[in-house]
Amino acid sequence: MSAGQPRKRPNQRKRNKGNKAKPVDLWRPVPPLPAPEPIRPAGDPTSLLRSVGAPPLRGRSDMAEAYLLAVAERAAGLATALAAASGLYDPTVDPD
């Protein structure tokens, strides 16, 4: 083999360029979605975060945990507000 030619691997195969994927019709009609179920807020939106313990940060893990819990509570509140605004909130269930 000369120095200017690339080496061929023994298991190297030619790629089959004739197998092209069929184009998909993105605008085809789809079946309608079922009506969404009413949304019930979580009783304690921070329970999952508290179950895994404090974040593994040196020195200020208590502060980081407090911020994460605050974000989870805020997100749960916003999700409840969005559900109420869209008419999907179920007021018959008490979250506490």
Q: What is the pLDDT of residue 67?
A: 92
- Residue 39 pairs in a beta bridge with 89
In one-letter notation, the amino acid at residue 80 is T
Token pair for 50: 């508290």
The answer to whether residue 77 is domain-embedded is yes
CA gyration radius for the chain? 28
Range of the domain at 68: 55-96
In a domain, 96, yes or no: yes
Torsion angles phi and psi, residue 89, rounded to 5:
-75, 135
Better-scored residue on pLDDT, 10 or 54: 54
End-to-end CA distance of the chain: 78
Query: What total of structural domains would you count in the chain?
Result: 1
More confident residue, 96 or 29: 29
Condensed to tens digits (0 to 9), the pLDDT of residues 61-87 reads 888 899 999 999 999 999 999 999 999
Task: Judge whether 33 lies within some domain.
Answer: no
Residue 44 lies in a domain: no
Query: Model confidence over 3-43: pLDDT tens digits?
Result: 666 666 666 566 656 677 888 888 999 899 999 999 888 88
